[in-house]
Amino acid sequence: MQYETLMPLLRRLALEAGARIMDIYDAEDFEVKTKSDSSPVTEADEAADALISAGLRAALPDMMLVTEEQAASHSARGDTFLIVDPLDGTKEFINRRGDFTVNIALVEKGVPTRGVVYAPAKKRMFFTLADGVSVEETGAFDPEVIGETRPIRVTEPDNGALMVVASKSHRDQATDDYIAQYAVRDMTSAGSSLKFCLVATGEADLYPRLGRTMEWDTAAGHAVLLGAGGRVVRFDDLTPLTYGKEGFGNPFFIAYAPGVELKKAG
């Protein structure tokens, strides 16, 4: 895999998809439909998916591609592939809350090794460089030229005063009960894969997810967190969260800075 050409491609496609999403987001109204699993999908999801998929297939025609909006891709099998959520946080988009992202990742042998997370409404862009180190880009976000970047790194947590991030749309009692086992200094909420990025930048120490997610929801944020020194483990046995599972569903998981003293499930 030529990471030196892959990462500028993923970044450019994320920016172009983000621009298309914002065109629709800023319109007076947009169409919302319901998928077979009862989840919402908008014309922005579909437009971003078409743009990203076309770009990836043109550049990497032989690479397995899994994308949320193309059900036919969900039957693919392999441990090395590209995986896309063209608009992660559709409910945030519909409610115009801004916490939605474009997620594109490369999974190799079950591990998300490279990825980009772009939050166009928040004007935040996180991605892994060719060497796997994660950065946040600031500036005008020119699709053709990478602007100023800063390396990001997980914090060295104080287990007596942890900063916890949780889902904005999917908080439940089980999550709150688990978080209650820790000494928490403060909590914040965020939508979509931004939660992984907040741990990656040191803005949070711990992100537990006790709810259903799919691999396309998590792979890009997971890659960014790994490139910043973080970890993501299964909630049940604290082994690393892997990718390429049948159906691409995830178990419950915990994303965290390595210094956090994890509590046992249940």
Say if residue 68 carries a ligand binding annotation: yes
Q: What is the domain partition of the chain in residue ranges?
A: 3-151, 162-256
What would the pLDDT profile of 183-238 be if each residue is shown by its tens digit? 999 999 888 899 999 999 999 999 999 999 999 999 999 999 999 999 999 999 99
CATH architecture designation of domain 162-256: 3-Layer(aba) Sandwich (3.40)
What would the pLDDT profile of 111-156 be if each residue is shown by its tens digit? 999 999 999 999 999 999 999 999 999 988 999 999 999 999 999 9
Say if residue 99 carries a ligand binding annotation: no
How far apart (Å, rounded) are the C-alpha atoms in residues 43 and 35? 12
Domain 3-151 belongs to what topology? Fructose-1,6-Bisphosphatase; Chain A, domain 1 (3.30.540)
This prediction has a pTM of 0.95
Say if residue 89 carries a ligand binding annotation: yes
**Residue 15 · residue 143 · CB < 8 Å:** yes
Say if residue 87 carries a ligand binding annotation: yes
Say if residue 79 carries a ligand binding annotation: no
